[in-house]
Structure 1
């Protein structure tokens, strides 16, 4: 038998108010209805699942919620009298049909789900993009029927020509809007008569991205760089550590501990997909480890100092700190690049591109897949194609060199 109960969602909106929702549970699976009402958390009685009397509109809100629950129960009884068993989602669909939920109400729920899944960086980035969309609209209200092709084309033009973002960045905004729209269609059955995406409408197609890494000579300039400040030296060592291990992501480099190095090998679990990785220590890594060995006190100490004092188990706080550290590292790397005469953009992420650029077509693609820690070899082929130029260069040479 299914149950229906009101509850207060844990993710507040931009005003710090929490949404009142209704949970439908059947066979230990839940689906949710959005009431459109928000209150401060102090006004919610979690024991009795209702708004406290201390709220100035408690009677009206409780009556509204009670009415919705009563309507839901009536339709639930009708659905359970049918011969076929139905899931919580199907029962929900029968109860509400098409909901009047707006785009930004759906976006709050979407962002809340990101937090539940501990996608903190993604949550931060998507929340900022939605704030920019609100600013463009000049409103925090938007119905799905008003979210049409014309509006999205105007928004894209605003991003490209007023905010001066790159084409790929503009597409990321549209992709977020489509993701939230599809989320609301699937979970809350919103009115999608004017669905603006698809053939003949708004198409989500990313332009090819340019990936340029350093060459051997430029990496050697970093390895032999002199007259650097301590902060710049640490930034270079962090970059080189990433490069020497085939482009380990900055979040993983910053969390490397002495205990991760056993018998001249690195053992670590990737933060992105939790894969366990083991790689032999290149000789050049030993020089970096020697540089920091004097400050080592315990085997669980971090190699680099950036995250000292940060609770590594607090994933949200950790993600915020890593974002700030990465930004500071990139600033210092830009200064170093200018000092040593590297004209290409230099950032922590470029360490991965640099490994790809130097490896080119010299290493079998299956081995590169292991080094990059890709789940699919197709991902490796697509990534490495940015750096494999020998065949096209030879073909061009044969034609024009006469």
Structure 2
């Protein structure tokens, strides 16, 4: 008897082998969430019902999960169930997800006003170097037109030519050219990677290696970055939670 857990784990492994690490992370998050909801070890995939998924949705929302995260989880589960349908282990998969929200709900932009942004930039963080680095990378992201943290982490030394930063957004492939001003260089020099064997501009990916190894370093750095940004927003009493997305919302970046 094939269980839902075995299908989820196989799907996550397949995504990882294709270097689709974000989708793999979502898949493993679904598994962890389901383990908190039910005895997934005993959940045979052919026994799945619409009622089970409706109860799971209620559990997610009651636990504080956003509707967009819930919808993302169910889109992942639908893809997994479609694989089971191809193996003749499920029928009429589209009916299993009737009544579930699987779209996208527009959320309020988490932008800072000019006073809050100045408060972040001017904060004295000499006694809190981890918060200082998070603040500096946040400000650099703002200067660089809201560059996403993943693109910041994987900037290469060769992306700078004649004082111009040229890179492609990882999500959209859109090319961007940004002339580097003095205040941008000050932050870059502070966190520049001085390892001559590393292709990366900043010391975020500290040990270049295989794609999975570098991806794990990025995800660890992102978690720490968001943790420190949250601590910074509390310390400065901003009234807005800083995240890796906030700098993007404070620019015209798309």
Shorter-normalised TM range: 0.7 to 0.9
Please name the residue that 2:52 is paired with: 151
Contact 2:125–2:131 under 8 Å retained in 1: no
Match 2:176 to one of 236, 255, 277: 277
Query: Looking at both structures, which has the greater relative contact order when contacts are Cα pairs under 8 Å and sequence separation is at least 6?
Result: 2
Q: Helix, strand or coil for the counterpart of 2:55?
A: helix
Structure 1 residues 179 and 258, CA, compared in 2 at 3 Å: closer, same or farther? same
Report the Cα distance in structure 2 between the residues aligned to 1:340 and 1:103, rounded to whole angstroms.
45
Contact 1:121–1:319 under 8 Å retained in 2: no
Structure 1 residues 318 and 156, CA, compared in 2 at 3 Å: closer, same or farther? same
Structure 1 residues 197 and 226, CA, compared in 2 at 3 Å: closer, same or farther? same
Report the Cα distance in structure 2 between the residues aligned to 1:148 and 1:116, rounded to whole angstroms.
30
Please name the residue that 1:211 is paired with: 109
Structure 1 spans left out of the alignment, 5+ residues: 1-35, 37-100, 357-370, 373-402
Q: TM-score, normalised by structure 1?
A: 0.55
Q: Deviations over 1:232-285 (max 9, x none)?
A: 222111111111122111122123344322112102244445554322224431
Q: Helix, strand or coil for the counterpart of 2:251?
A: helix
Report the Cα distance in structure 2 between the residues aligned to 1:220 and 1:165, rounded to whole angstroms.
32
Q: TM-score, normalised by structure 2?
A: 0.83
Contact 1:171–1:205 under 8 Å retained in 2: yes
Question: Are 2:72 and 1:172 aligned?
Answer: yes
Q: Deviations over 1:300-346 (max 9, x none)?
A: 664432322x12x4111212111111121222223333344422111
Post-superposition shift, 1:165? Answer: 2.3
Contact 1:121–1:320 under 8 Å retained in 2: no
Q: Helix, strand or coil for the counterpart of 1:226?
A: coil
Measured on the aligned residues, the alpha-carbon RMSD in Å equals 2.9
Q: Which is strand-richer, 1 or 2?
A: 1
Alignment of 1:337-348 (within 5 A): 337-348=233-244
Post-superposition shift, 1:151? Answer: 1.0
Q: Deviations over 1:4-45 (max 9, x none)?
A: xxxxxxxxxxxxxxxxxxxxxxxxxxxxxxxx7xxxxxxxxx
Post-superposition shift, 1:172? Answer: 2.5
Alignment of 1:261-272 (within 5 A): 261-272=160-171
Structure 1 residues 166 and 270, CA, compared in 2 at 3 Å: closer, same or farther? closer
Contact 2:81–2:90 under 8 Å retained in 1: no
Structure 1 residues 130 and 346, CA, compared in 2 at 3 Å: closer, same or farther? same
Q: How many residues are paired up?
A: 252
Structure 1 residues 328 and 144, CA, compared in 2 at 3 Å: closer, same or farther? closer
Q: Which is helix-richer, 1 or 2?
A: 2
